[in-house]
Structure 1
């Protein structure tokens, strides 16, 4: 029994170490699907460095924390410590956008889409890389908790009613891919279907970010920031050996503010990432994205998932 428990702990640790994604960049989407105007970035964003010294924990926020698996609790804070208040890194401003605009929230797939099973040596991971939920609020709080936000609903009447669920979409946008030395069948097929060459370098390759496409509410206030919570739900199913018997929660979040303005520029400009994804258009179905799991609370009703109830002897 002790050996089985130790094995489960080791598997949990390896799985957490292999998984990571966060929001890299935001863009407005024009009526024809093109990215338009200046790019925007999450709170306190740190770009990947050219010298390889980048620390992914500067942006990555995992819940429950790796030291506290396997399930979230009511005290787990939603945002990374650097993202709990409205603040931007000096070189990475907020996205400027309009009420009712469509925006793309972009992130690297990191193998969770194109590597079979969602990653090397992973078990029990959901299809399509799990679900991304985007919530919006005019009343963000530094002490925001994940459990509270997961209760927000499309009509704004869920939970404490401070925000609403704006969209639920598969993590996999059916276009994105990672460039790997051990190219997978899916990543190679997507690379050939949607080439993403570096500007001025015909025949070159660049990884292609995934995106979550969100329409902002029409009642956001011009002249005020609006807060978005990007929540990637990527659980492990129960009864998946050698995984945990009762499954495990796994969430990654990015906390974002956008400035609401009256008019947008027409061109594509602004601060770029050091390794900027050259793609300039959204996925073709950006207006009609869906998810296999549309309810943020669906996990709570999944058979066998969750902390087992204690029984008295």
Structure 2
């Protein structure tokens, strides 16, 4: 290696990109602009503790993370949240409903990356506006009494709304990432790691073990400065089954094999099933079939099946981005409509009230 070669200034390396660089407000500035009140802060803390209690078997309700695949329209998202809040009260004895508020979307190649990136859906990528809108929406959902969940994709964005979240997902494409495992180890809410896209759980199990330990890692502090971030480890992680290239992995045989693997590694069996993605063959209308199969396993005694996830919007299906969008229809993965979602969850609550009749 030639030790005489020195680093070039940024302007020499990539002057065009430097000229286009725009600064964002720090996460502290946005939190001060849109603060969480003391009462709502306690509500978030209570919801996090309720989810921990479910994971630990101290609360026998079913955890259900439900909502749009992604949020693209504030009006329809808040209408959905209002409906979900009313439903949550109806089934609160049997289920804890958590609003899925996904504002980042992973992309294999290119495409719309979510509300936090491009809130106007036009490629303008006004991320400052996107972060502000995302935080505003989550605050409104919390004011409705809902716990809020999201997938944390970009660690730098996490600090803008981490205080609002009661549950977090780490996706199938990022569960293997050391950066995301380090981030999860410092989060103060339960985290679900999805199995890899191949359908195997080894990567997610490794992630859970890593996140349980303290770390020191490169990051950004609340004022936007590069920093060494110390974490204490997160004991509240669990596995999320979403199927894989070979098909579903929510069936009894698959779950039994996963129990054996978790037991061998001395990891608590705390499993959530994502009723979408490969588990439903990417057909959103098959999610109730998956849900009911898993519910039956739980009713027959498998208490490790602590939760489920449903992609649901006001109306079923999905649509491509265009100048004329149908209200309340997903622009990413297809969703179950709210009417069908409500019927599914009310029926499930009835079965959970009377398991002997299921």
* TM-score normalised to structure 2 length: 0.25
Tell which structure's C-alpha radius of gyration is larger: 2
Q: Which of the two has greater helix per residue? A: 2
Q: Which of the two has greater strand per residue? A: 1
Q: More relative contact order in 1 or in 2 (CA 8 Å, sep 6+)?
A: 1
* TM-score normalised to structure 1 length: 0.27
